[in-house]
Chain A
Amino acid sequence: MMIVSPTPLLSRYAECMMWLARQMERMENLARLLEVTETFVRNADGQTAWDSILAINTDEHLFTQLHNAVNHAAIVPFYVTETRNPASLVSLAQAVRENARAVRPLVSIELWTQLNVFSRNLLNLKNEDMSAHNLAELCTRVRQDCQTHFGIAEGTLYHDQAWLFYRLGKALERSDQITRLIDIRYHMLLPQSEIPGSEIDITQWTSVLRSAAAYHAFRRLRPVTLSPANIVGFLLKNDGFPRSLSTNLRQIDETLTLLASHDNLRQRCSPLLECVTELRASLLDQTAEEIIIRGLHDYMNWIQIQLRDLQNAIAATFWPAPMQPEYHMNHSYFQEQN
């Protein structure tokens, strides 16, 4: 149920709500990925597969620009404190903070307060907080803080248009994250799965599930065999798992449908809805085995392009760029007189 508020949502608020949700979701995923990678994920040579995180986030280019070669010791700081990496925890915290400040008039005080403390703590992060011993602890804390945020959002966010954009952001980000994870990990593990049943194989495949917080849910299905297709199928097509692609595409669909229930938004939402319908149909039409045989990478890639186009179409529909040139912030203009 959504409330129609007397004032339509400011475009800027819609944009900020969507990005706030996306960035919080991204932080939660990144924290989980760092934690799981440190504990479980190994390359063929038995070394911690930090480089797979670069691949999942397609950050290889930026990383080598900053560090010349792929230097494993530098990957963790690159994702935690590096301000030149827009996908690091610290950069995300900064972005979250700005978006949270922008939507502060709209969200509950409880939601703002938690984000205020959380983002400030991250911005004050010291390098010693990410030594091998502390990384897991730090990641656990970040993950829990993100989950606290989502809990407060669930419990206090008013169900008006702002909430719809927040939901859209969350579901879009989850869809994006799960397809990246599957794409990279599957191809990393492919050579190893040619020796079925080996110890490393099972640990590595279950780590894919753990990276998506899916391990125990998957266990409850009691699969006869733990095959790559089973796991890919679960992460892409399971309708009960909150982070699966199918669940999130359904949520995008439902959210856009709610938005379209506003009289004058029906037309503007219909091309967006068509795009989601097509994505859902493509997923429904094929089994995981078929997806793998036809080319998992190509399919994941196609979905990601569709998701990116959908995000751009949402932006063009709800916060079209004004005609005049962009504004640049200049602090000296920002003081009131009395």
Chain B
Amino acid sequence: MINAQHLASPLMRGLLDNYDTPDFFCELMNRNASVPPIINCVKERLSALSIEELKTRTASAEAQLYRMGITFTVYTDKEAIDRILPFDAIPRIITAEEWKHIERGVEQRIQAINLFLHDIYHEQHILKDGVVPSELVLTNPNYCQAMIGLSVPGGVYVHINGTDLIRDQQGRFLVLEDNARTPSGVSYVIENRHMMLRLMPDLASGLPIRSVENYGPRLHQVLCEVAPDGVADPQVVLLSPGIYNSAYFEHVFLSREMGIPLVEGKDLFVDNHRVFMRTVMGPRPVHSIYRRLNDDFLDPLVFNPNSLLGVPGLVEAYRQGNVTLANALGTGVADDKAVYAYMPRIIRYYLNEDPILESVETHICAEPEGLAYTLANLNKLVVKPVGESGGYGLLIGPQATRAELDEFSQKLQQNPKNYISQPTIGLSVTPTLCGNSVEARHVDLRPFAVTGRSVWVLPGGLSRVALRKGSLVVNSSQGGGSKDTWVMAS
């Protein structure tokens, strides 16, 4: 929807003149009832810019990101190419009120996830009470046998979490996915801010934008808090797969922000169930490891015996309580697609509260009502198999032919347990520079939370935009870009 005043003014030939957002909630323009004054202020400042100016500034930002090596690496058969995450200079704004809601919702969700993980690796009340099917959890490929009966410091399994949020047509924030293994992207939250302040100082001037600078110290503090008991001055390290990993920049960024060594598996060794790093002064004990390696690669003695990235004996050292791993092993059960469907019930079960952030409405086909609803509305729904791998056997109802729908209906009835269904969501959009104009592009939000004795949510987040027109895919590997996210203090 176009702001009528803009159209009326012949003098205003600003960025947003031809901006149109049919049918979707726009993060900047159509905020249903009353538009917060801060949004109006940013809108006015943006309108004062010309497309040419925005293009020049954006090009300069991208050159700078490339020079600084704020890149991720894409591997082809032949070579490694460093790519930047395309940066869009129009910020995404979250009001203080919206943020309060997100923050509380994320906190609640992480509390529930940690209680759930503790439970499924101990007494399994939630399974015995039939709230979540045992089979779904115990046969899940991410369920980690090594974690059974193991107590972790403070009961924290997920120390670092990224929650993927989207907004629907009404502007409601919905959880799309939890990332409770090794979520990445937080470095872009902070680097995007630096880039934004450098590029658009005039746009940000005087606004109560909350700082994102404190992530490193907070994370370091948490990694110290959860170190094994009795260690006065814990040695924290970040364990990376190494310089060829596509997210290596982020590993560098975080170890730099925390002032801790970035280690590779070969820098560590285990002796008598204790972990040491190789230094010029000889072996030094390590107490807390922020690992950016997936479970499978952490310890060749326990997981993939062919992996050379990990540290032999690490899991046993962990089981003996001599070292803390963040995140813990086996957290992948909690961010699994199938378990996602049960998340509202998991929250109610452990916290006796309604979920603050809603999930995308999900129908569990293992349940008769869910199956009946799904079969009756197949042409309106996205049906996803709940197995380990995403993407396979997905049905997008509105895009399917009659024959495909019929065929899928058969499959569904044969093995209903294997499916969930969700309505298609019209993701919110945000004004984004596309070629020579500013157009609406779909956007999501990944806030990051750090959990030790308490949950802390970084006031900001990664806003990823799908740069292709109409696309809902925001992933960096598939043509996604990013924006600075401004959380307002008031």
Chain A positions near chain B (C-beta within 8 angstroms) = 7-14, 98, 101-102, 104-105, 109, 112-113, 116-117, 161, 165, 262, 264-265, 318-319, 322, 324, 327-331, 333-338
Chain A CB within 8 A of B474 CB: no
B235 touches A7 (CB 8 A): yes
How far does the alpha carbon of A261 sit from the alpha carbon of B256 in the complex, in Å?
26
B261 touches A336 (CB 8 A): no
B280 touches A161 (CB 8 A): yes
B281 touches A105 (CB 8 A): no
Tell me the smallest distance from the CB of A97 to a CB of chain B, in Å: 9
How far does the alpha carbon of A337 sit from the alpha carbon of B390 in the complex, in Å?
12
Chain B positions near chain A (C-beta within 8 angstroms) = 67-69, 75, 80, 162, 179, 181-184, 235, 241-248, 251-252, 255-256, 260-267, 269, 277-282, 284, 292, 294, 297, 307-309, 312, 335
Within 8 Å CB of A9, what residues of B? 279-281
Within 8 Å CB of B267, what residues of A? 10-12
Partner of B261, one of A13, A165, A330, A331: A13
* Contact of A113 with B261 at beta-carbon distance under 8 Å, contacts A104-B252, A334-B246 already known: no
Within 8 Å CB of B244, what residues of A? 329, 331, 334
How far does the alpha carbon of A265 sit from the alpha carbon of B247 in the complex, in Å?
36
Tell me the smallest distance from the CB of A244 to a CB of chain B, in Å: 28
Q: Name 6 interchain pairs, CB-CB below 8 A, sorted by A.
A: A10-B278, A109-B68, A322-B266, A335-B246, A338-B183, A338-B335
Within 8 Å CB of A116, what residues of B? 67-69
Within 8 Å CB of A264, what residues of B? 281-282
B266 touches A327 (CB 8 A): yes
Within 8 Å CB of B184, what residues of A? 336, 338
Tell me the smallest distance from the CB of B249 to a CB of chain A, in Å: 8
* Contact of A10 with B279 at beta-carbon distance under 8 Å, contacts A333-B297, A336-B182 already known: yes
Within 8 Å CB of B335, what residues of A? 338
B261 touches A10 (CB 8 A): yes
How far does the alpha carbon of A141 sit from the alpha carbon of B184 in the complex, in Å?
38
Closest chain A residue to B179, Cβ basis? A338
B68 touches A113 (CB 8 A): yes
A319 touches B278 (CB 8 A): yes
Tell me the smallest distance from the CB of A166 to a CB of chain B, in Å: 13
* Contact of A322 with B269 at beta-carbon distance under 8 Å, contacts A13-B261, A337-B181 already known: yes
Closest chain A residue to B279, Cβ basis? A8
How far does the alpha carbon of A113 sit from the alpha carbon of B262 in the complex, in Å?
19
How far does the alpha carbon of A297 sit from the alpha carbon of B479 in the complex, in Å?
61
Within 8 Å CB of B75, what residues of A? 331, 334
* Contact of A337 with B261 at beta-carbon distance under 8 Å, contacts A11-B267, A11-B278, A117-B67 already known: no
* Contact of A265 with B281 at beta-carbon distance under 8 Å, contacts A101-B248, A334-B242 already known: yes
How far does the alpha carbon of A101 sit from the alpha carbon of B246 in the complex, in Å?
13
Within 8 Å CB of B162, what residues of A? 338
How far does the alpha carbon of A264 sit from the alpha carbon of B283 in the complex, in Å?
12
Within 8 Å CB of A105, what residues of B? 251-252, 255-256, 261-262
B241 touches A14 (CB 8 A): no
Closest chain A residue to B292, Cβ basis? A336
Tell me the smallest distance from the CB of A111 to a CB of chain B, in Å: 12
Besides A10-B279, A336-B241, 10 other CB < 8 A contacts? A10-B277, A98-B243, A105-B252, A112-B69, A116-B68, A262-B281, A328-B308, A331-B80, A333-B297, A336-B247
* Contact of A337 with B242 at beta-carbon distance under 8 Å, contacts A10-B267, A117-B67 already known: no
Closest chain A residue to B64, Cβ basis? A113
A333 touches B256 (CB 8 A): no
Residue of B269, B297, B308 ringed by the most chain A CB atoms within 10 A? B308
The 4 closest A-B pairs by CB, nearest first: A8-B279, A8-B281, A101-B243, A105-B255
Within 8 Å CB of B284, what residues of A? 7-8
Partner of B69, one of A8, A10, A113, A331: A113
B279 touches A113 (CB 8 A): no
Partner of A12, one of B241, B264, B297, B307: B264
A336 touches B279 (CB 8 A): no
Within 8 Å CB of B297, what residues of A? 333
Tell me the smallest distance from the CB of A156 to a CB of chain B, in Å: 13
